[in-house]
């Protein structure tokens, strides 16, 4: 289709064709000349244009010389409501209607001639409207300027409600999804953090004590065990008047008011800054007394299950057993040495509580419980009945002295088991604080270090026998005294230079004869046998703090040492060490480590035997038997006044006894103490010894010698009868000559 010109068409005369809007064609309803009314709006095409504006050509004549014209392209009526009217009318227009409007615009009665419209480009609604002209004289027309060609734009789309609905739905879903994710995060990920935010202020911790293991004797009888009790505690945050509360509790708990009030004082836990809600007021309170305390209804005061250590025998083996603190921690004796084994592992309960009137566990609140693990128990080698008798005998004998210290040990010679181990003074292990002096609580058998004195001579003679220096038939002239270095050594039973037998030297405890034999033995061999018999080192019996004693090293020997060491001076030893040495003689020359622990018993009842004791050979069985036979002279030789053996008081009726008396010295911190240490160690039956008993007594007045032998006799007699040992055959008892001819 040829392009349309923007210039208005002219007729043959050159005059411009008239517009339908010029002249009298104005619409009276619009009030504006040349503007169409509602009927013109209905003539719009579906594209929004009228036929006249779409390029159609209408020709009309007014009178005989009707003017012909073409509506300029893109011309508009100038009505601002035309688009709306166009929508209402649906954009449909009829050629007839358009023709009628053109005729009406040209004048009345003028014939109208309709020309078929040719296809033209339909302009859009946003084309420039034509300039409106004012009525009046017409100006000469100028050639129209060429209008720039503009790129047509698409008309805006109308709003789509379905699109708005979808968009709104998406926004709502996004909002709810975000909220849901946040809620899930708070309920799952951050829940512990928010829940634990104030948990520390609501938690109460209660310790669940673990039952402490018991200590039994060899027969299974309890020497010490735990019984159920109660502990009283305070929550300082709930105590209203701590001084008034303390005054009510003081007589029931046996504690000063000031002490109880101080424990109920409010304080913060170290390192946390939170107030303490638990303070012990008393441990091991009787159940009946605890019920009385709860009946008082004191604010902030409560009781809970506890245990109390109970010692059925009170002072029975107290120096061995020791005691524990109020917190069930071993402080002395076996309780301290095996505290880790006996104590077990306490449990703990942590739970939420309310505040004020709701100070009770919160149902469904946080609660965590760690169950306690009971401790294991110990079974000792001690015989309860024998222990009791030894303590009684020692105490009765020691009543003759003042400010004295005594110790007694009973050993099974073949196994090394300690059947009894008594100390004097003793104390009540159930009430240890009643003892004023810590030394009274010590076990004398392992901590009492002395010069053993003449009981050491058995080691010297045993070494000489084993090394072949002497035989049981050896006879030597013995002087009344001998000087070694600058120190004289004398005998209490002078031999006056007569020939004396080895059993006679032991019976009369000859210092001079023993020194002469030791000179033949030599210093180094004597030291070697001292070590073999267990001197100079702890026995490892099982008691804490056991003393090791001390042997004089060879490089420290002086001239006088050759005289003092063989007879038991310049030597430090404990009663238990010397008892173990004699047990080696009784056991055919084999040393067996003494021990107190028989077995351990775990909470499930499983029994585990203790480690096997150390064993070593010291003497041959032959020489051990010969030495035992010679030691029998100490309790049997009685040749009248002046020729009586030193140990006659230790003889046990009906049994052959081999042993030795001793008189030694005691040193404390290197200083010699006044008085002497009397001792006796023996074995029975001598022909085949089963038990060894050692008794040591230190007295400032020197009465120990008069106490030790009788105490031995009673202890050994009870031991033999207790274990039903048959009496010895009297016809086999040896006869000794002290001064052979």
Q: What is the dihedral of CA 99, 105, 110, 114, to 10 degrees?
A: -20
Query: What separation in angstroms does the CA of 546 have from each of 445, 646, 696?
Result: 9, 31, 17
CB 717 within 8 A of CB 653: yes
Neighbours of 431 (CB within 10 A): 12
The CA distance from 697 to 678, in Å, is 5
Neighbours of 39 (CB within 10 A): 14
Neighbours of 33 (CB within 10 A): 18
Task: State how beta strands 222-234 and 279-285 pair.
Answer: antiparallel
DSSP structure string for 499-534: EEEHHHHHHTT-HHHHHHHHHHH-HHHHHHHHHHTT
Neighbours of 44 (CB within 10 A): 24
Among residues 226, 430, 433, the alpha carbon closest in space to that of 343 is found at 226
To 5 degrees, how large is the angle CA 660–CA 713–CA 572? 40
Environment class of 444 (CB within 10 Å of its CB; exposed 0-12, middle 13-18, buried 19+): buried
The CA distance from 172 to 169, in Å, is 5
CATH superfamily assigned to domain 389-732: DD-peptidase/beta-lactamase superfamily (3.40.710.10)
pTM, 2 dp: 0.70
**Series of mean pLDDT values for 10-residue runs along the chain (741 residues):** 46 42 43 48 49 43 41 47 51 46 45 47 48 55 63 70 86 91 78 64 76 94 92 90 92 91 88 82 90 91 88 92 88 93 87 69 79 93 97 91 90 97 92 79 92 95 96 94 93 91 95 95 96 95 92 94 94 96 97 96 94 96 96 91 89 95 86 90 95 94 87 97 90 82 78
Q: What is the pLDDT of residue 731?
A: 60
Q: What is the pLDDT of residue 133?
A: 53
Tokens of 354: 């309310």
Q: What is the pLDDT of residue 58?
A: 38
Q: What is the pLDDT of residue 607?
A: 95
CATH architecture of 203-380: Alpha-Beta Complex (3.90)
Q: What is the pLDDT of residue 64?
A: 42
CB 637 within 8 A of CB 505: no
Query: What separation in angstroms does the CA of 443 have from each of 420, 426, 579, 610?
Result: 12, 9, 15, 22
The CA distance from 335 to 596, in Å, is 13
Q: What is the pLDDT of residue 167?
A: 87
To 5 degrees, how large is the angle CA 193–CA 194–CA 199? 90
Task: State how beta strands 377-380 and 215-216 pair.
Answer: parallel
Q: How many residues are listed for the chain in this entry? A: 741
DSSP structure string for 292-357: HHHHT--TTEEEEEEEEEE-TTTTTTHHHH--B-TTS-B-SHHHHHTHHHHH-B-EEEEEEB--GG
The CA distance from 478 to 514, in Å, is 9
Q: What is the pLDDT of residue 601?
A: 96
Q: Is 412 helix (H, G, I), strand (E, B) or coil?
A: strand
The CA distance from 495 to 674, in Å, is 29
Supply the angle between the helices 575-586 and 621-631 in degrees, to the nearest 10: 110
CB 523 within 8 A of CB 497: no
The CA distance from 589 to 625, in Å, is 8
The CA distance from 331 to 592, in Å, is 29
Tokens of 507: 């019976």
Neighbours of 168 (CB within 10 A): 10
At which residue do the structure tokens 């010297």 appear? 460
Q: What is the pLDDT of residue 141?
A: 59
User: Please, what is the end-to-end C-alpha distance for the chain in angstroms?
Assistant: 176
Domain ranges of the chain: 1-131, 164-195, 203-380, 389-732
CB 352 within 8 A of CB 346: no
């Amino acid at each position: 289709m040829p392009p349309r010109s923007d210039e208005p068409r002219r007729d043959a005369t050159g005059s411009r064709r008239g517009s339908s809007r010029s002249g009298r064609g104005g619409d009276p309803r619009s009030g504006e000349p040349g503007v169409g009314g509602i009927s013109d709006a209905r003539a719009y095409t579906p594209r929004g244009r009228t036929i006249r504006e779409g390029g159609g050509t209408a020709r009309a004549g007014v009178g005989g010389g009707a003017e012909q014209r073409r509506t300029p392209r893109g011309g508009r009526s100038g009505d601002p409501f035309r688009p709306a009217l166009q929508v209402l009318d649906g954009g449909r227009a009829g050629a007839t209607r358009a023709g009628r409007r053109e005729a009406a615009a040209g004048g009345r009665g003028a014939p109208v001639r309709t020309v078929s419209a040719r296809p033209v480009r339909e302009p859009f609604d946003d084309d420039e409207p034509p300039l409106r002209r004012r009525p009046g004289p017409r100006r000469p027309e100028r050639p129209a300027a060429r209008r720039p060609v503009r790129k047509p734009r698409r008309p805006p789309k109308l709003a789509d409600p379905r699109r708005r609905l979808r968009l709104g739905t998406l926004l709502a879903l996004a909002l709810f999804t975000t909220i849901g994710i946040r809620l899930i995060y708070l309920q799952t990920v951050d829940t512990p953090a928010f829940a634990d935010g104030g948990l520390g202020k609501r938690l109460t911790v209660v310790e669940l004590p673990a039952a402490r293991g018991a200590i039994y004797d060899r027969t299974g009888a309890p020497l010490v065990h735990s019984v159920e009790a109660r502990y009283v505690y305070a929550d300082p945050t709930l105590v209203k008047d701590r001084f008034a509360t303390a005054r009510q509790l003081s007589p029931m708990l046996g504690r000063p008011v000031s002490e109880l009030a101080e424990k109920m004082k409010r304080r913060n836990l170290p390192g946390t800054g939170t107030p303490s809600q638990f303070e012990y007021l008393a441990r091991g309170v009787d159940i009946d007394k605890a019920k009385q305390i709860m009946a008082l209804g004191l604010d902030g005061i409560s009781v809970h299950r506890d245990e109390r250590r109970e010692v059925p025998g009170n002072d029975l083996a107290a120096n061995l057993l020791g005691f524990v603190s109020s917190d069930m921690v071993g402080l002395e004796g076996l309780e301290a040495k095996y505290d880790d084994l006996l104590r077990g592992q306490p449990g703990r309960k942590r739970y939420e509580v309310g505040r004020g009137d709701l100070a009770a566990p919160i149902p469904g609140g946080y609660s965590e419980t760690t169950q306690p693990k009971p401790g294991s128990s110990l079974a000792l080698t001690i015989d309860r009945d024998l222990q009791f008798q030894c303590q009684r005998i020692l105490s009765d004998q020691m009543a003759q002295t003042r400010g004295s210290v005594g110790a007694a040990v009973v050993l099974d010679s073949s196994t090394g088991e300690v059947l009894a181990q008594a100390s004097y003074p003793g104390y009540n292990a159930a009430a240890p604080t009643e003892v004023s002096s810590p030394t009274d609580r010590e076990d004398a058998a392992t901590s009492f270090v002395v010069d053993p004195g003449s009981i050491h001579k058995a080691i010297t003679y045993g070494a000489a026998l084993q090394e072949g220096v002497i035989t049981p038939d050896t006879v030597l002239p013995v002087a009344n005294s001998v000087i070694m270095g600058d120190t004289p050594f004398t005998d209490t039973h002078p031999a006056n230079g007569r020939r004396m037998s080895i059993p006679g030297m032991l019976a009369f405890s000859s210092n001079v004869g023993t020194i002469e034999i030791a000179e033949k033995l030599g210093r180094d061999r004597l030291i070697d046998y001292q070590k073999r018999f267990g001197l100079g080192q702890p026995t490892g019996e099982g008691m804490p703090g056991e003393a090791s004693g001390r042997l004089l090293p060879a490089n420290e020997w002086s001239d006088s040492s050759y005289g003092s060491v063989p007879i038991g001076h310049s030597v430090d030893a404990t009663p238990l060490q010397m008892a173990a040495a004699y047990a080696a003689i009784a056991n055919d020359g084999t040393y067996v480590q003494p021990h107190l622990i028989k077995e351990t018993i775990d909470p499930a009842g499983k029994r585990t035997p203790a480690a096997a004791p150390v064993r070593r050979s010291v003497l041959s069985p032959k020489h051990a038997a010969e030495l035992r036979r010679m030691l029998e002279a100490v309790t049997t030789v009685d040749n009248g006044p002046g020729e009586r053996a030193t140990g006659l008081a230790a003889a046990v009726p009906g049994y052959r006894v081999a042993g030795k008396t001793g008189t030694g010295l005691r040193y404390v911190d290197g200083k010699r103490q006044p008085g002497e240490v009397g001792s006796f160690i023996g074995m029975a039956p001598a022909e085949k010894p089963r038990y060894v008993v050692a008794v040591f007594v230190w007295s400032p007045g020197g009465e120990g010698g008069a106490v030790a032998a009788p105490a031995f006799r009673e202890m050994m007699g009870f031991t033999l009868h207790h274990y039903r040992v048959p009496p010895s055959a009297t016809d086999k008892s040896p006869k000794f000559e002290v001064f052979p001819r």
